[in-house]
Amino acid sequence: MTARIVIRNEWRLLMADRPLRLALGLFALLLVYALANGVVWTRFQESTVEVAQAGNVERALAIEQELTDIENGAEPASPFSDPRLPNVLGGRRGRHTAVLTPGPLTALAVGQSDLLPYYYDVNIYTNESSFHQSGEVESPLNLMVGRFDLAFVVVYLLPLLVLALSFNVLSEEREQGTLALTLSQPVSARGVVAAKLAFRALLVVGMVLAVSLAGILVAGDFGAPGRILLWCAAVVAYALFWFVLAAWVNSLRRSSAWNATVLVGAWLVLVVVLPAAINIAAGLLHPLPSRVQMVTAQREASNEAVNQRSELLARYLEDHPEMAEGVVADEPGLGALAWAATDAVNRRLEEVTAEHDVRRAEQIALVRRYRFLSPALLTQEVLIDAAGTGDARFAAFQSQVRVFAERWREFFVPAILASEQMNAGVLSDVPQFRLADEASADVVRRAGVPLAVLTGLLGLAGAGAGVGLGRVRGAD
Amino acid sequence: MIRHSIRHIVRKEFTDVLRDGRFRWCSVLVGALLLVSLGHGWVQAREAQREHAAAQATARDHWESQGEKNPHSAAHYGIYAFKPRLALSFVDEGVDPYTGTSVWLEAHRQNDFLLRPAQDATSAQRVGALTAAQVLQHLVPLLIILLTFGALAGERERGTLRQLLATGVGRRDLALGKALGIAGALGLLLVPAAAVGAAALVVGSPGPAASPVARAAVLAVVYLVYFAAFVALSLAVSAWARSTRTALVILLGVWVVNGLVAPRVAVDLSKWMHPTPSALEFAQTVEREMATGTEDIIPPDRDALAERLMAQYGVERVEDLPINDVGAYLQESEEFGNRIFDRNYGALWDTFERQGVVHELVAVAAPLLAVRALSMGLAGTDVEQHRHFASAAETYRRDLMRRMNGDLTENSRSGDFSYQAGAELWESTPPLRYDAPTLGWVLGNRFLSLVVLGGWLAGTILIAAARVRRAEVA
């Protein structure tokens, strides 16, 4: 009953306040703009993925045609790209592009998808350095600034709107002298603030969720309900956190100006300063060796490998008897020798990468531990993870490509070692990359921790606000 | 008399600011962030520069000690180039985390720069990177807003504005006094930071740069102009707004648009106005044109070349040529490839630069974009200076290939595949030397931003003067 009256009056007040109406309208506009941006990006990625997959089919067809022609007596177009050679069929010419389809909610959060590669060309020469290619063509300046997507609007701008809507939710009543009057009614300060904020929260969260769902409708489908729920939960928890924080600050019984300053300060510290401080600390405590060493190590390994190819081949055959059926190390072909050298370089690269990954894991662990201090970082993580554009999905894709590259080598290398020729008959057995995308349940499990911590922070602020508001009296 | 009153106002404003607990806390925070980010940037830049210099030396060593081989094998072996960190990059790392750090210079192809530091970082690190430049571009203006929003609106609310003007103080003097008082308070924060930055530059410059001191001086002026424009803008709003609350809300709105919204809108605008191809499309175009050429760029014909050479030397058979026709053919292919690369990579980088101009134009609505462009330019970390190094590396690659093909052409005969060159040839090729662009070059690139930033300063001062003249006293 009281809540209904409060909400009805709040609506009237809001409609009478021109600056607030303007702010809400602007926010709605920015939401739609951000969504449109995300949809354009998703479409771009989808069309690239299509081209990449069509390329796989075209290459396979051209090779099949040439192999059939050769079997019918034609000469190969060039001795260097003869598809009968296993290092050609399994090499650059016959390469297979492994593709990561855009995350189900990419239109809502571009995340890391503009920076990290979402397809790799796999062939027998794929090694650790293959994973250090650039992603999509993009001006470094644009990458530096980042995209205007819904996740950005939620993490950075939504708190500011929330604060503008609620920094004086109680202090204004006191400054206008209406607080005593309001609290002389059979209502508590807690109830009044809760009703006022509930109305504002419904408005703001409703707008964000409506635009998000519209985005999912336009750019994707509702096939990943877990992800959608996760997205909505993060938006709700984050928005409520800021509302509750505003209520808490209001319960301290200071002036509206003081509230505004403190809340803007809180935004600055939680959204801008803390994430930066965490990163600087991570950089100082666990400095990352640059990848430059990798280039040098690769160089040195290949210099050595070229000089000791036969020795390397003997060792390789010892290590990989499964690859070497019927190959005699004493009379190796040129292809076998070259492969042994390639393999030695790959092993050395893996060693260097492993060292680097250990250091990188330390740095990331530190960032992950202290991200609990900033609701902005937590929310950002849950949002892009839910969208399928977070680090974890790209890392999983990369390790699947690694496994696929191994399968690819297992298919072609025995023929290289045995100096055998391939024919059209093997084409149907050539490995194909099948993405095993993470299930919604995995994402929910992974994002559950940051979401729980976010909810915990919300509860903490809520408790503070509850206690503080309980002390508010009309006579203040 | 007038000067006397200004001095009083300046002193009063300065003292007020220093006594304000909010300002003390904010300045301590901003000051600490500024010093930490400067120090962190300096350590990182030095480390990166040391590593790159070492890697460059090793790469040269590999090149020289590659043993006896055919010059074309050496060309395939190639050499790696590592991008140096310029002296001022510790103030503003700019686009460096998003450009590669090394490129393989090999026969037949212009490779991309690989190893982008940002790809090794997490999404959280991408959100929260903090450099001295970011503190100066985002946080100092916020501090200015917090200091200034109440300067005139507050006096009016308290009713002291009428009293003040009744004492005969001119409105312009009042505003000027307030501005100078606030500037003095900011100076307490900025002068030590500038001193630390200058000391870092003198004590141990992280890397090479043409005229680092002049660049640093211009950088300081650019930031001062930016801050002055913010002070003038805040005073104008404070004079115009009916209440301190309105002044604060408007100024925070300006800050959000300037620092958060406009930069990202500029990204979309630039991509929409100057679209780039997808990486796949780009790679396919280069591959196709390398195989078949274009309308104007025709792939070299080996037989035709042999005919030409035989006619030139007056011989009947290729074997009788005094040179190796393979070397000449390889050089022709190299030149054919270069034209294809220039066409494609040139167009791509031109597009990136045109996108950059869109960012600079959006600066008309948000001065941060002008300051950012100038800051990155002066620090040597903008897109143009990455391209400058990339072109230097590519020019070096082309010269290296010309030397290898030239040696093969002149010192062996056609059909001779056993020819090998040695350390003498490798050592005779000069190492890659890179001269960073001059200050004039940088400022020439950033002319638009200079104009826009100057316009902001002039515009905000004019508006402030007009608003102060017309400010209501109550």
Burial B412-444 (b: 16+ CB within 10 A, else e): bbbeeeebebeeebbeebeebebebbebeebbe
Residue B28 confidence (pLDDT): 85
Instruction: Kindly report which listed range (A230-239, A448-457, B167-176, B262-271) carries the lowest average pLDDT score.
Output: B167-176
Residue A1 C-alpha, separation from nearest chain B C-alpha, in angstroms: 33
* Helix runs in B204-261, H state only: 212-240, 244-256
> Two tokens at B192?
């030590």
Instruction: Kindly report which listed range (A51-65, A352-366, A386-400) carries the lowest average pLDDT score.
Output: A352-366
Instruction: Read off the pLDDT of each residue in B407-430 and give the average, rounded to a whole number.
Output: 85
Question: Domain limits at B200?
Answer: 2-470
Q: Does residue B94 have a pLDDT over 70? A: yes
pLDDT tens per residue across span A174-208: 777 777 777 777 777 788 888 888 888 998 999 99
The whole-model pTM stands at: 0.87
The rounded distance, in Å, linking the Cα atoms of B68 and B419 is 10
Across chain A, mean pLDDT equals 84
> Two tokens at B473?
């006293």
Residue A310 confidence (pLDDT): 61
Q: Does residue A91 have a pLDDT over 90? A: no
The rounded distance, in Å, linking the Cα atoms of A158 and B256 is 12
Residue B363 confidence (pLDDT): 94
Instruction: Read off the pLDDT of each residue in A216-245 and give the average, rounded to a whole number.
Output: 88
Instruction: Read off the pLDDT of each residue in A352-373 and give the average, rounded to a whole number.
Output: 82
Across chain B, mean pLDDT equals 86
Residue B457 confidence (pLDDT): 95
pLDDT tens per residue across span B276-286: 998 888 988 99
A392 to chain B: closest CA residue: B122
Domain definitions of chain A by residue range: 1-476
Q: Does residue A458 have a pLDDT over 70? A: yes
Give the closest residue to B171 by CA, choosing from B372, B352, B2. B2
pLDDT tens per residue across span B196-213: 888 887 776 656 666 788
Q: Does residue A20 have a pLDDT over 80? A: no
Instruction: Read off the pLDDT of each residue in B398-406 and give the average, rounded to a whole number.
Output: 91
Residue A471 confidence (pLDDT): 83
Residue A233 C-alpha, separation from nearest chain B C-alpha, in angstroms: 20
Residue B314 C-alpha, separation from nearest chain A C-alpha, in angstroms: 32
Residues of chain A numbered 274-313 and touching chain B (CB < 8 Å): 274-280, 282-284, 287-288, 290-296, 299-300, 303
pLDDT tens per residue across span B179-202: 888 888 888 888 888 888 888 877
Instruction: Kindly report which listed range (A83-97, B116-130, B271-285, B447-461) carries the lowest average pLDDT score.
Output: B116-130
Q: Would you call A98 an interface residue with chain B, using a CB distance cutoff of 8 Å?
A: no
Q: Does residue B472 have a pLDDT over 80? A: no
> Above pLDDT 90, what percent of chain A?
22
Instruction: Read off the pLDDT of each residue in A324-344 and give the average, rounded to a whole number.
Output: 68
B263 to chain A: closest CA residue: A145
The rounded distance, in Å, linking the Cα atoms of B466 and A275 is 41
Q: What is the four-CA torsion angle of A396, A402, A407, A410, rounded to 10 degrees?
A: -160
The rounded distance, in Å, linking the Cα atoms of A447 and A442 is 9
Q: What SS3 class is residue B449? A: helix
The rounded distance, in Å, linking the Cα atoms of A299 and A290 is 16
Least CB-CB distance to B127: which of A137, A288, A380?
A380
Contact residues on chain A for B139, CB-CB shorter than 8 A? 268, 272
Q: Contact, B10 vs B181, CB < 8 A?
A: yes
Residue B246 C-alpha, separation from nearest chain A C-alpha, in angstroms: 9
Residue A269 confidence (pLDDT): 87
- Residue B237: which pLDDT band, with cuts at 50, 70 and 90? very high
The rounded distance, in Å, linking the Cα atoms of A225 and A23 is 32
- Residue A1: which pLDDT band, with cuts at 50, 70 and 90? low
Q: Which long-range contacts (CB under 8 A, 24 or more apart) does B428-431 make?
A: B428/B403, B429/B63, B429/B399, B429/B400, B429/B403, B431/B60
Give the closest residue to A86 by CA, choosing from A319, A317, A411. A411
B282 to chain A: closest CA residue: A137
How many residues does the structure list for chain A?
476
The rounded distance, in Å, linking the Cα atoms of A316 and B470 is 86
Residue B207 confidence (pLDDT): 61
- Please, is B2 exposed, middle or buried when counting C-beta atoms within 10 Å of its C-beta (0-12, 13-18, 19+)? exposed
Indicate yes or no: CB of B282 within 8 angstroms of CB of A137.
Answer: yes
Residue B5 C-alpha, separation from nearest chain A C-alpha, in angstroms: 30
Residue A359 confidence (pLDDT): 82
Residue A277 confidence (pLDDT): 83
Instruction: Read off the pLDDT of each residue in A400-429 and give the average, rounded to a whole number.
Output: 87
More confident site: B353 or B50? B353
- CA-CA distances (angstroms) from residue B315 to A238, B318, B319, B323? 83, 8, 9, 12
Chains A, B: CB pairs < 8 Å: 206
What is the Cα A387 distance to its own chain's centre? 7
User: Could you give phi then psi for residue A346, rounded to 5 degrees?
Assistant: -60, -45
Instruction: Kindly report which listed range (B133-147, B161-175, B360-374) carries the lowest average pLDDT score.
Output: B161-175
Indicate yes or no: CB of B126 within 8 angstroms of CB of A112.
Answer: yes
> Two tokens at B156?
């009016």
pLDDT tens per residue across span A131-163: 877 678 888 888 888 889 899 999 999 999 898
Q: Does residue A328 have a pLDDT over 80? A: no
Residue B402 confidence (pLDDT): 92
Residue A332 confidence (pLDDT): 61
A136 to chain B: closest CA residue: B279
- What string of DSSP letters covers B114-178? B--GGGGS-HHHHHT---HHHIIIIIHHHHHHHHHTTTTHHHHHHTHHHHHHHTT--HHHHHHHH
> Above pLDDT 90, what percent of chain B?
29
Instruction: Provide the 8-state DSSP code for B82.
Output: E
Least CB-CB distance to A138: which of B37, B123, B276?
B276
The rounded distance, in Å, linking the Cα atoms of B63 and B430 is 11
Contact residues on chain B for A380, CB-CB shorter than 8 A? 123-124, 127
Residue A155 confidence (pLDDT): 93
Instruction: Read off the pLDDT of each residue in B90-96 and give the average, rounded to a whole number.
Output: 87
Q: Contact, B33 vs B65, CB < 8 A?
A: no
Least CB-CB distance to A390: which of B119, B123, B382?
B123
Q: Contact, A268 vs B135, CB < 8 A?
A: no
> Two tokens at B120?
């090794």
The distance in angstroms from the start CA to the end CA of chain B is: 26
The rounded distance, in Å, linking the Cα atoms of A22 and A27 is 9
Indicate yes or no: CB of A139 within 8 angstroms of CB of B270.
Answer: yes
Helix (H) / strand (E) containing B104: strand B102-105
Domain count for chain B: 1
Instruction: Provide the 8-state DSSP code for B421.
Output: B
For an interface test with B, the pick among A56, A93, A137, A355 (most B C-beta atoms closer than 10 Å) comes out as: A137
- Residue B1: which pLDDT band, with cuts at 50, 70 and 90? very low
Q: Does residue A422 have a pLDDT over 60? A: yes
* Ramachandran sector of residue B53 (left: φ over 0; alpha: ψ -120 to 50; beta: rest): alpha
- CA-CA distances (angstroms) from residue A250 to A176, A240, A468, B248? 15, 15, 9, 18
Q: Using H for helix, E for strand and C for coil, what is the string for chain A?
A: CHHHHHHHHHHHHHHHCHHHHHHHHHHHHHHHHHHHHHHHHHHHHHHHHHHHHHHHHHHHHHHHHHHHHHHCCCCCCCHHHCCCCHHHHCCCCCCEEEECCCCCCCCCCCCCCCCCCCEEEECCCCCHHHHHCCCCCCCHHHHHHCCCCHHHHHHHHHHHHHHHHHCCCCHHHHHHCCHHHHHCCCCCHHHHHHHHHHHHHHHHHHHHHHHHHHHHHHHCCCCCHHHHHHHHHHHHHHHHHHHHHHHHHHCCCCCHHHHHHHHHHHHHHHHHHHHHHHHHHHHHHCCCCCCHHHHHHHHHHHHHHHHCHHHHHHHHHHHCHHHCCCCCCCCCCHHHHHHHHHHHHHHHHHHHHHHHHHHHHHHHHHHHHHHHHCHHHHHHHHHHHHHCCCHHHHHHHHHHHHHHHHHHHHHHHHHHHCCCCCCHHHHHHCCCCCCCCCCHHHHHHHHHHHHHHHHHHHHHHHHHHHHHHHCCCCCC
Q: What is the ipTM of this complex?
A: 0.89
Instruction: Kindly report which listed range (A276-285, A330-339, B92-101, B282-291) carries the lowest average pLDDT score.
Output: A330-339
Residue B463 confidence (pLDDT): 92
| Single-letter amino acid code for the residue at A448 | G
Contact residues on chain B for A52, CB-CB shorter than 8 A? 280
The distance in angstroms from the start CA to the end CA of chain A is: 26
How many residues does the structure list for chain B?
474
Indicate yes or no: CB of B127 within 8 angstroms of CB of A265.
Answer: no
> Two tokens at B323?
């040179």
